[in-house]
Structure 1
Amino acid sequence: MDVEPPVAAALARELTVPPDPTAAAFFDLDNTILRGASIFYFARELYRRDFFTVRDLAQMAWMQARFKALGEKMEHVHLIRERALSFVEGHTVDEITAIGEDVYDEVIKDKIWPGTQALAQLHLDEGQRVWLVTATPIEMADTIARRLGLSGALGTVAERVDGVYTGRLVGDPLHGKAKADAVRALAEHEGLDLTRCSAYSDSANDIPLLELVGRPCAINPDARLRAHAKAHGWRVRDYRTGRKAAKVGVPALAGVGAAAGGVVAGAALRRKHH
């Protein structure tokens, strides 16, 4: 039997979680929500579309392999990001945004850590807002946040003039202390109580962000963050098999390097046959 409209409305009200205006959660992206570095997946798609050469991709693939095995090495991530920026110079925002949508559909959606996504959903279910806070370009971050049903994203901003990228950044990459500063500013603007907020990251580079909130959590942590979290009684969640970041050595990296070469070769073959 159908439920009468007034009864259905009452049930809907009971099932609706009221907003929690002063609490929120902030999630790093790479190696926290996503396996690997989002900028590498984006760069790989740019390569497939002839934005740059196989040699460029080979170097970025090796950096991506080290990133997944050892955790965040910002000199590598910065190099990948700077190269990607130079390759999009002269292209339109609409074009690059559309490529980002394709990258999500073809690659990123299958590399989301289910455990971290479930944590984000728990905050949403409690009526809290959830933001990505990442050094990834804001266009990619916005796409991922929207596809995951999150509240929004803070990311690195590339300069554009009349809808065309210049190849330069606006300000600095959203990394380290800059993340904490951005979240502090957002909290002030949104009326958040940071002592009631949560933050999640895999990297010791994000300790300033994690220390900013009342409920920090290390996700898939690198060795430095794991030690820091243990010393300070922070929550730790590791969704990887074998806790690779704490155990990987040079022999393992050699195997990862071979895998990176396979990624490059596979991309080259796919492009050849398109």
Structure 2
Amino acid sequence: MPEEKIVAVATRPVASAQHGEAAFFDVDNTLMRGASLFHVARKMYQRGAFTIPQAAGFAWKQLMFVFRGENIDDVHAVRDTALSLASGFTVEDIAALGEEVYDEMIESRIWPGTKALAEQHLRMGRPVWLVTATPIEVATVISTRLGLTGALGTVGEIRDGSYTGRLVGEILHGPAKAVAVRGIAESEGLDLNRCWAYSDSHNDIPLLSMVGHPVAINPDTRLRRHAREHNWPVYDFRSGRRAATLGLKAATVGGAIYGLWRGFSRFRGPTV
């Protein structure tokens, strides 16, 4: 029988919530710049898990993620590819990969403003959880390194100490995040009306809508509009956001892909 894993992992003792309060943070484009799964793919490429054409596909999806925000079809496509590539990796392999990805690629991409918000909640005695479609192993590393309470993430099935390439449950995305947070609230005795949630994506509106204090961070167009209509706070930590957007629109697709391609090719090592 496959080994069962839970969707949430506590990385530090769960403190008694301040009046049943807690804060929940999305990861991609909310806590960090870009998509964490893309950086996992880069690290797997270093280890020879897939080919250069597959790397180009990941690069294109990362470009689209930065350009237009989160898209459910792209999320599912990356998930399916990553799962197939992870098949056969051991638990120890993925744990080490998560640590390397954080040190080499994620730490420098953490938004200082979002980190400061999380730290403020901790100082007020509120547990802080990450809620992300990112693999739970990587989400747990991020949570641990930042001193947060724990993480909820997508869980891969393990058999005999290795990943099978299948999921336990569904990808933690969209409405699934709301379900997972409700489960944490029930187990920890939280009052969701006194909780906070932070995200950049309109896909997380179900999560944001279920808490008393929803906050949009670096929002996509649809979430920005929704936040304004509902008087939600909006924080944008992207410096020169409008200029950057215009620059992306003016750039050729070939030029943008070249930059991402170099992100992969620099890890290929010397040619023979």
Which residue is 1:64 aligned to? Answer: 62
CA contact (8 A) 1:69 1:245 kept: no
* Aligned residue number for residue 141 of structure 2: 143
**Aligned AA for 1:264?**
W
Q: Deviations over 1:24-78 (max 9, x none)?
A: 0000000000100000000011011110011111111111011012110121122
Residues 230-254 of structure 1 deviation map (CA, whole Å, 9 limit, x = unaligned): 0000000001123359955873463
Asked whether the 8 Å contact 1:134–1:174 carries over to 2, the reply is: yes
Deviates more, 1:218-227 or 1:19-28: 19-28
Tell me the equivalent position of 2:267: 270
Q: Which has the larger radius of gyration?
A: 1
2:116 equivalent in structure 1: 118
1:63-107: CA deviation from partner (whole Å, max 9, x where unpaired): 101101211012112211211111110110110110110010011
1:54 matched residue in structure 2? 52
Give runs of aligned pairs for residues 8-157 of structure 1, distance below 5 A: 20=18, 22-157=20-155
Decide which of 156, 160, 178 is 1:158's aligned counterpart. 156
Can you list the C-alpha shifts for 1:207-266, whole angstroms capped at 9, x where unaligned? Answer: 0000010000000000000000000000000011233599558734636x5233233234
TM-score normalised to the size of structure 1? 0.88
Structure 1 residue 272 displacement after superposition: 2.0
For 2:181 and 2:132, locate their aligned partners in 1 and report how far apart those are by CA, in whole Å: 11
In the alignment, is the contact (CA less than 8 A) between 1:47 and 1:53 conserved in 2? yes
C-alpha contact 2:67 2:245 (8 A) present in aligned 1: no
- Corresponding residue for residue 258 of structure 2: 261
Shift of 1:187: 0.1
Report the secondary structure of 1:270's partner residue. coil
Do the aligned residues in 1 keep the contact of 2:31 with 2:111 (CA within 8 Å)?
yes
CA RMSD of aligned residues (A): 2.1
Q: Which 5+ residue runs of structure 2 have no aligned equivalent?
A: 1-14
**CA contact under 8 A between 1:217 and 1:234: conserved in structure 2?**
yes
TM-score, reference length from structure 2: 0.89
Whole-angstrom CA distance in 2 between matches of 1:208 and 1:19: 23
Alpha-carbon distance in structure 1 between the residues aligned to 2:243 and 2:171: 24
Identity between Structure 1 and Structure 2 (%): 56
The match for 2:210 is 212
Q: For 1:100, give the aligned amino acid.
A: G
Residues 55 and 264 in structure 2, CA contact (< 8 A), matched pair in contact too: no
Quote the Cα distance in structure 1 between the aligned partners of 2:189 and 2:134.
Answer: 25
SS in 1 for 2:165: strand
**Aligned counterpart for 1:225 among listed residues 223, 236, 244:** 223
* Contact 1:54/1:264 (8 A) holds in 2: no
CA distance in 2, matches of 1:178, 1:29: 15
